[in-house]
Structure 1
């Protein structure tokens, strides 16, 4: 394995380890729907997401579970091909997206849902509850967009 790919492989593995450990911790120490305030704008709130972002497609059916798992696998394969295809360019954005997609796919296959627990809120307004994999995907998208903007304005 090329040295450059080891770097990206380690990024993916590190994110997956943090994601899996955090979800196992939530499962062990929090009941479903249990909330603990961390900061005035941050709670840990154990929920199960049967859908995708913002609980879209959130039915607890086998069809839904299979459909979303297959969709995730297709996305993961596509991103992996992009990582391999791109030469001599920074691939951190794709690694973050890939790690997040794999982390949520592991949940979906193993549990039938994704474990979410990060609840950011201001007073009674709550953003969608999310997890480390979601943070990784979001960060990867920010890096990707920033690179594209930078490239387009040169």
Structure 2
């Protein structure tokens, strides 16, 4: 199936702007609620394997570089904004028919922007979802992180089973019958 290049943004993946907005708003609302409802390092037991917590992440994923002098705040903000810009360009250039890939990019953009807002406004990212087994805890995360992981998973899925699975190279290498 050949993809049609959109001539207007309404024909492109940018029609999923609302997904980006929903992720961003939901992420920010849940973070505001956590900051107001729980003191820093506060914890609410929800299930035997899940708690709500209030923690701050000054680094990136898994608190990478969180113990640095503050430069990482702007470094991670810049990286996220570059990635957002690239994904928005991709969304504009690809047609609406690339549904899974467009959803993956929209989730990635919404999640990245949610964490960028925290970094710029607060200097850190608010995390609050804490899953664990016994004393082994997965690092706390938030709605934006969840959207990023789901978006990355959809992108991987699409590369194997969707629009990315059938590249021009694969099509050219097939013998003609």
Shorter chain as denominator, the TM-score bin is over 0.9
- 1:60/1:30 CA distance change after superposition, 3 Å: farther
Q: Could you say what the CA RMSD is over the residues aligned between the two structures, in angstroms?
A: 1.8
Does the 8 Å CA contact 2:12/2:94 hold for their aligned counterparts?
no
Does the 8 Å CA contact 2:38/2:54 hold for their aligned counterparts?
yes
Deviation readout 1:90-112 (Å, 9 max, x if unpaired)? 21110000000000000000000
> Gaps (5+ residues) in structure 1?
none
> Gaps (5+ residues) in structure 2?
1-8, 171-177
Displacement of 1:81: 1.1
Runs of 4+ in 1 over 6 A off after TM superposition: none
- CA distance in structure 1 between the partners assigned to 2:76 and 2:135 by the alignment: 31
Residue 108 of structure 1 aligns with which residue? Answer: 119
Q: 1:78 aligns with which of 70, 79, 86?
A: 86
Does the 8 Å CA contact 2:14/2:91 hold for their aligned counterparts?
no
Residue 51 of structure 1 aligns with which residue? Answer: 59
- CA distance in structure 1 between the partners assigned to 2:76 and 2:126 by the alignment: 15
- CA distance in structure 2 between the partners assigned to 1:60 and 1:50 by the alignment: 9
Residue 128 of structure 2 aligns with which residue? Answer: 117
Displacement of 1:9: 1.0
- 1:3/1:83 CA distance change after superposition, 3 Å: closer
Residue 97 of structure 1 aligns with which residue? Answer: 108
Q: 1:135 aligns with which of 101, 123, 146?
A: 146
Counterpart check, 1:39 vs 2:47: yes
Q: 1:146 aligns with which of 127, 148, 157?
A: 157
- 1:60/1:33 CA distance change after superposition, 3 Å: farther
Does the 8 Å CA contact 2:42/2:53 hold for their aligned counterparts?
yes
- CA distance in structure 1 between the partners assigned to 2:67 and 2:134 by the alignment: 29
Displacement of 1:64: 1.7
Q: 2:30 aligns with which of 10, 19, 22?
A: 22
Displacement of 1:4: 5.9
Q: How many residues align?
A: 154
Q: TM-score, normalised by structure 1?
A: 0.93
